[in-house]
Amino acid sequence: MTTKREREREYERRRYEKRAARLAEAAERRRRRRRVVAMVLGVVVVLGAVVVVAVRSRSTAQATTPSPSLSASDLGSSPQPTATVPAAALSENRQWTGTLTFGQGTIGLSLDGAAAPQAVASFTQLAAQGFFDGTTCHRLDTGMHILQCGDPTGTGSGGPGYSFGPIENAPADGVYPAGTIAMARVSGQAASQGSQFFIVYDDTTIPADSAGGYTVFGHVTSGLDVVRAIAAAGTTSGTQTPASPVTIENVETK
């Protein structure tokens, strides 16, 4: 007869194996996405001087008005020929709840499918597909107080293979309270939203550009201290890369 201690050890062993298998699957999905992105970029010619952006800079030099935008080469979000934008109706025009688990801890989410139906439809569908699992949050802007995530390549120029617009539910005054979850996009281009999003960990003001503001599609309901701890660790010297790697292990919504 097995003892209670043996049963507990067996339970922990099985739990560890399941977690390891999940992370391995996420890593393989990420590798496949990167291979597709590499193949696509090999045939795409990006026209020079398409747009000037301020976000993705890995140096301390930034534009006068910083913004949570993508790189100019992400105008097509590294498109895959078969990728289509999820229908806005999939947001069901309702409030969604969920969790986002980093290696550092878990935060609770509330997503507003009524105020930002297209963004919520996209985010929840990508989450259901495991798109975010194993991806890194590539940018920490301690001046704007944002952590930017959702790029499968971890470079700031990747996406889901589609882009969408227009901007939804942007604050008229440019104020984004702590806990805000909003879509990143190419500076000046409303229809360039994809999978990249940012979490505001302290009240901030982000001026609108020629396209407007940024789609607010949700907010953090718990665990904002996890993001603040990531921010407190700072960035690597001369960059906006988090000093401690920030990996999304899993996103669940319902």
Q: Rounded to whole angstroms, how far apart are CA atoms 24 and 212? A: 40
More confident of the two residues 67 and 146: 146
The least confident of 30-44, 113-127, 206-220 is 30-44
Residue 75, pLDDT above cutoff 50: no
Band of pLDDT at residue 142, cut at 50, 70 and 90? very high
Question: How high is the pLDDT of residue 68?
Answer: 73
Average pLDDT over residues 51-78: 40
**Residues composing the chain:** 254
Is-contact 41 35, C-beta < 8 A? no
The per-residue pLDDT for range 9-31, each reduced to its tens digit, is: 665 666 556 555 665 665 566 55
Going by their DSSP bridges, the two strands 175-176 and 204-205 should be labelled as: antiparallel
Alpha-carbon torsion angle 144, 146, 147, 149, nearest 10: -100
Q: What is the pLDDT of residue 18?
A: 58
Residue type, 203: D
Of residues 226 and 45, more confidently modeled: 226
pLDDT grade for 44, boundaries at 50, 70 and 90? very low
- Asked if pLDDT for residue 61 goes beyond 50, the answer is no
Q: Distance between CA 84 and CA 163 in Å, rounded?
A: 9
What's the whole-number mean pLDDT along residues 94-106?
97
pLDDT at site 132: 97
Q: How many CB atoms lie within 10 A of CB 14?
A: 10
Output phi, psi for 49, to 5 deg.
55, 40
pTM, rounded to two decimals: 0.73
The predicted structure's pLDDT at residue 147? 98
Per the CB < 8 A criterion, the answer to whether 214 and 220 are in contact is: no
Query: What's the confidence (pLDDT) of residue 235?
Result: 96
Phi, psi of 222 (to 5 degrees): -160, 155
Chain position carrying tokens 């960059």:
239
Residues 154 and 40: their CA atoms lie apart, in Å, by 16
State the CATH class of domain 4-253: mainly beta
Residue 231: both structure tokens together:
């921010």
Domain ranges of the chain: 4-253
Would you state the structure tokens that stand for residue 239, as one six-digit string? 């960059």
Q: What is the spatial distance between Cα 1 and Cα 192, in angstroms, rounded to a whole number?
A: 61
pLDDT in tens, 168-226: 999 999 999 999 999 999 999 999 999 999 999 999 999 999 999 999 999 999 999 99
pLDDT at 143 over 90: yes
